[in-house]
């Protein structure tokens, strides 16, 4: 049977396969066009595509505006308290327990304050010192204050990436 096929028969078979492939491609393209035009009535393809492009422009503009807003918020957050640490200690031998503490509250650029409380039998004293770049500005840090500021400065900011 295969010996009796002529060149024209082979061409007809090849054209039949080609026709099948083209039909499949056309059906797929028509299906995609129906998805695009499904929710739109009374508009041609050009109008639909123009609407899509306009929406894309608006969305791109919105995304750009949101990106700028996020950058502004990131800058503002650097000025908020973002890092903190607490160290409790016993500065005097005659008192029991770690009643004294040092607390560091720093922003994203390691500026802020360190608050210390020294507890003794005679009373409690509270001190506050300014911190700039994780360093003292006006008054030297005690050992515990230096430790708590370094600990806070090493801490990753809660809202940063």
Same-domain status, 70 and 111: no
Residue-level pLDDT at 35? 82
State pLDDT tens for residues 10-43: 899 999 999 999 999 999 999 988 887 777 777 7
Residue-level pLDDT at 3? 61
48 belongs to a structural domain:
yes
Mean pLDDT of 74-78: 82
161 belongs to a structural domain:
no
Mean pLDDT of 94-122: 88
Residue 103 φ then ψ, to 5°:
-125, 125
| Nearest partner of 91 among 49, 15, 144, judged by Cα | 144
| Nearest partner of 117 among 140, 99, 134, judged by Cα | 99
Same-domain status, 95 and 142: yes
Does this model's pTM top 0.75? My answer is: no
160 belongs to a structural domain:
no
Q: Which domain holds residue 55?
A: 40-77
Same-domain status, 123 and 63: no
Cα–Cα distances in angstroms (integers) from residue 47 to residues 37, 44, 80, in the given order: 10, 5, 50
| Nearest partner of 158 among 119, 107, 103, 118, judged by Cα | 107
Same-domain status, 149 and 106: yes
Residue-level pLDDT at 22? 97
Residue-level pLDDT at 24? 96
109 belongs to a structural domain:
yes
- Count of domains observed in the chain: 3
Same-domain status, 132 and 144: yes
Residue-level pLDDT at 159? 45
Same-domain status, 71 and 99: no
Any idea what the Cα angle at residue 21 is, between residues 18 and 25, rounded to 5°?
135
DSSP tag of 94: T
Cα–Cα distances in angstroms (integers) from residue 73 to residues 4, 47, 87, 112, 132, in the given order: 81, 39, 31, 19, 22
């Amino acid at each position: 049977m295969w010996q009796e096929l002529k060149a024209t028969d082979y061409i007809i078979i090849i054209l039949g396969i080609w026709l099948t492939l083209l039909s499949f491609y056309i059906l797929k393209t028509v299906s995609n066009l129906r998805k695009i035009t499904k929710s739109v009535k009374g508009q041609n393809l050009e109008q639909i595509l123009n609407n899509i492009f306009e929406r894309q422009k608006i969305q791109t503009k919105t995304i750009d505006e949101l990106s700028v807003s996020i950058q502004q918020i990131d800058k503002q957050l650097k000025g908020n308290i973002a890092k903190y640490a607490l160290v409790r200690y016993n500065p005097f031998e005659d008192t029991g327990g770690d009643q004294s503490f040092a607390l560091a509250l720093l922003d994203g650029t390691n500026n802020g304050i360190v608050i210390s409380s020294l507890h003794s039998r005679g009373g409690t004293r509270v001190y506050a010192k300014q911190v700039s770049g994780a360093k003292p500005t006006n008054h030297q840090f005690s050992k515990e204050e230096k430790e708590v500021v370094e600990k806070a400065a090493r801490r990753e900011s809660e809202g940063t990436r």
